[in-house]
Structure 1
Amino acid sequence: MFTKLLIANRGAIACRILRTLRALNVTGVAVWSEADASSLHIREADEAMSLGDGPAAQTYLVSEKIIAAARQSGAQAIHPGYGFLSENAAFAEACEAAGIAFVGPTPEQLRVFGLKHTARALAKKHGVPMLEGTELLANLDEARQAASVVGFPV
């Protein structure tokens, strides 16, 4: 079990993760942009690290800033919450390379399941029951033809 975890997210999801960490007696580190300086997740965290000023694209979505905050805080793991970096295979790999656990799917799982067509192909290969669907379609005519077979809504 980790003793300190950084939450690479904000708002309600960060608060939920912090409550769980408290129940597990794990120190929760929150990150924040200047626009979120008075947010509840900052007040509820055991520690809080600023990612600087700017929109999410310049703060919460910058892998290097998140990993630097984790290193500076001594966090052993990063929980991405949902959205932001939670489905980013490169971020999961960067965490691994930095020696910090990524709380979520492996980079390979993110790649395979992040695209519907690769996830469907894998499920089909393993005999998982699926709803009617198609492989990737090349153009609008193929899509119309498939819709007439699969049915609506598509």
Structure 2
Amino acid sequence: MFNKLLIANRGAIACRILRTLRALDVQGVAVYSEADAASLHIQQADEAHSLGEGPAANTYLVVEKILAVAKQSGATAIHPGYGFLSENAAFAEACETAGIAFVGPTPEQLRVFGLKHTARALAKQHGVPMLEGTELLENLDAALVAGEQVGYPVMLKSTAGGGGIGM
């Protein structure tokens, strides 16, 4: 078990993780952008460290800043929460390289399941029941043909990103 864990997230998810850490008698380290300095997760954490000014792209999503705070605070594990860096295989690898446990899937699992077409292929290979679907579609014409074969209504999903937005 870890003695100190950094939460690479903010808001409600950080508060939920902190509540669990208290129950496990593990110290929780919070990070924040200056805009979030008065947030509840900062007040509830055992310690909190600023990631500086600016939007998430300049704070919560900067791997080097997160790892620097983890090392500075003595955290031996990082919980990414959800969103932000939680599905970032490069971040999980950077944690491993830094000798900090990533509380989540392995980098390889993130890579395989992060792309819908590879996740679907792996599920199919292992006989997991799935809804009717297709392999990757190259263009609109292929999508129209697939729609006729599968039957309408259909949902198209981007394979490389969107976080649910691309449906």
TM, length-normalised to structure 2: 0.91
1:138 aligns with 2:138: yes
How big is the shift at 1:147? 1.0
- Paired residue for 2:91? 91
1:108 aligns with 2:131: no
- Paired residue for 1:36? 36
TM, length-normalised to structure 1: 0.99
Residue aligned with 1:147, SS? helix
* 1:102-152 CA-partner distances (Å, limit 9, x unpaired): 000000000000011000000111111111000000000000111112121
Structure 1: which 5+ runs fail to align? none
* 1:28-52 CA-partner distances (Å, limit 9, x unpaired): 0000010000000000001101101
Residue aligned with 1:78, SS? strand
Q: Aligned pairs, how many?
A: 154
How big is the shift at 1:153? 3.0
Structure 2: which 5+ runs fail to align? 156-167
Distance 1:24 1:70 in 2: 19
Distance 1:150 1:79 in 2: 40
Distance 2:30 2:99 in 1: 19
How big is the shift at 1:12? 0.2
- Paired residue for 2:70? 70
CA RMSD after TM alignment: 0.6
How big is the shift at 1:100? 0.1
Residue aligned with 2:119, SS? helix
Distance 2:148 2:35 in 1: 49
Distance 1:113 1:144 in 2: 26
- Paired residue for 2:56? 56
